[in-house]
Amino acid sequence: MPDKYSFITVRREKSGGFLFNPYLFNEVPLNETEIRILELCNGFLLVKDIINTISDEFFLSGKDAETLTINALNNFSKHFAINCKQEKRAGEFKIKKNVSKGKCKGQDRTHGIYHYSAPLSVIFEITHRCNLGCKHCLVDAGKPLENELSLKEIKKIIDQLVEMKVFNVNFGGGEPFLRDDFFDILEYASKSNIGIVFSTNGFLVNDEVLDKLENIKTFAVQISVDGLEKTHDEFRGVKGSFKRAVWALKKFSDKGYYTIMSTMMLKKNIGELEFLIKLCLSMGISSFKLSTFMPAGRGNKNINDFLLTPSDLKSIAVRMLKQKKEYIEKINMDINGTFPWLIENKPKKLLEGFKERYERIGCSAGMSSLTISPNGDVYPCPFLRNYPAGNLCSDKLKDIWENSDVFDVFRNIDRTKLKGKCGTCGYMPYYCQGGCRAAAFLQTGDFYAEDPNCWYGCNLP
């Protein structure tokens, strides 16, 4: 009798839906039949009963219903979503006992062409206080915002996230450990089935912090390392910050957390990326994530020092694809910010076919993700602070998600609105979602301009 584990979240959408396992940290898309099968995994129905129900409800032959049900149950088992009590199972349904422990797929998000009933993921900035002075900081963190949310207010927002069945939340800042109640926030969130990540500079992490986190259900930790020691410390503005970040990453890795080293690509560190990957490998880090510099917040004051050219990004893409191929079995590498698909040989006929498609496009902003600032402001994108969609001190998140005019802008982008090469690019929408609208706006002032970071069509070596 298949029984869905209590920690599994099932969410219906306009077509099908998702299952989410916080321990594997990935949402699994399901079609209408699959999500119904999962709903029937209640611990009381035999497999044959589920097959009969699916046959009746979807007007399928017994054989077709059996095939679909068995395949679905095996898929659920692979994602550790169901427990099968002892029974004589129908067909050839078997719980695979040799499935390896799942690896976090947090960077491989599932996107659709319409916005979902709720975000899949949320960035929750709980403070803008910070103990470092990073030159790229998108929020110019240091001092707290006026009217930062109280613990009581944050708990109410978490309740809304749980009610909407948001799958994962990344708590960050600023530096979240500067809030005295950060552990209370994590502990409260961990009582739900939300997948919890937190982002930190690692400077305040010590053995006492690690001990306090021991009994809190946190699944992943992201720590920024923006170069080797000299580069990182200069960039972060505090000597010793590199050693603290690396120490924290190693400790979290040793304790079994899914660990992410996040690196901002800058002119001063692009020659050090391979060394950082080797550092990750030596510490058993789960993922290496490259981010593209955006001229927002404090970064707007350092454009000339940090902004990479399309030629720089192409060179990085070539190098990182080589690294990704070499270490594919050892570490997850998120290098999408370098436009790696432009290097791969795609069939010309296939790309030409993409140009005729005019469905809505766009990144996850406002479609499957959003950002909450420390004062309750809600944004589709963390880089576009001039366009709040609402405020959670006065509005419900569900109302903002469903009714905000700001979100509508992001949800109604199509090829005809994009300018320059983005409007005619054959890689859209299956390899690229139309470029980064934040990069276009921040560098040109035009939301629909071509992505200035993309090197497609440039005559580069």
3-state secondary structure of 82: strand
DSSP assignments along 273-316, one per residue: HHHHHHHHHHHT-SEEEEEE----GGGGGGHHHHPPPHHHHHHH
pLDDT band at 84 (very low <50, low <70, confident <90, very high): confident
One-letter amino acid at 245 equals A
| Domain-terminating residue out of 23, 58, 84 | 84
Q: What is the pLDDT of residues 32-79, one digit of tens each?
A: 999 999 999 999 999 999 999 999 999 999 999 999 999 999 999 999
157 neighbors 392 (Cβ within 8 angstroms): yes
On the question of pLDDT at 460 being above 70, the answer is no
Burial (0-12, 13-18, 19+ Cβ within 10 Å), 108 = exposed
**DSSP helix, strand, coil percent of the chain (3-state; round to 5):** 35, 15, 50
Q: What is the pLDDT of residues 130-147, one digit of tens each?
A: 999 999 998 888 899 999
* Domain extent at residue 162: 121-412
Task: State whether 44 and 185 are in the same domain.
Answer: no
Task: State whether 139 and 73 are in the same domain.
Answer: no
Q: What CATH number does residue 296 fall under?
A: 3.20.20.70
Q: What are phi and psi of 377, to 5 degrees?
A: -65, 145
Task: State whether 214 and 129 are in the same domain.
Answer: yes
- The pLDDT value given to residue 414: 84
Say how many domains are in the chain.
Answer: 2
- Is residue 259 in some structural domain? yes
Task: State whether 63 and 204 are in the same domain.
Answer: no
Task: State whether 364 and 232 are in the same domain.
Answer: yes
- The pLDDT value given to residue 461: 55
| Domain-terminating residue out of 55, 84, 113 | 84
| Domain-terminating residue out of 84, 107, 132 | 84
- The pLDDT value given to residue 352: 58
Residue 259: Cβ within 10 Å count = 25
Task: State whether 217 and 161 are in the same domain.
Answer: yes
pLDDT band at 427 (very low <50, low <70, confident <90, very high): confident
**Mean pLDDT within 186-203:** 96
- Is residue 443 in some structural domain? no
C-alpha to C-alpha distance for 241 and 258, rounded to whole angstroms: 21
- The pLDDT value given to residue 351: 55
Which has the closest alpha carbon to 274: 335, 224, 348, 185? 335
3-state secondary structure of 53: helix
Task: State whether 38 and 154 are in the same domain.
Answer: no
182 neighbors 154 (Cβ within 8 angstroms): no
Task: State whether 143 and 55 are in the same domain.
Answer: no
- The pLDDT value given to residue 382: 94
Which has the closest alpha carbon to 318: 274, 350, 261, 351? 274
Tokens 């009994």 sit at which residue?
A: 215
230 Cβ contact partners less than 8 Å away, ≥ 6 residues apart: none
Task: State whether 157 and 26 are in the same domain.
Answer: no
Task: State whether 205 and 324 are in the same domain.
Answer: yes
Q: What CATH number does residue 42 fall under?
A: 1.10.10.1150
Q: What is the pLDDT of residues 404-416, one digit of tens each?
A: 999 999 999 888 8
Task: State whether 24 and 144 are in the same domain.
Answer: no
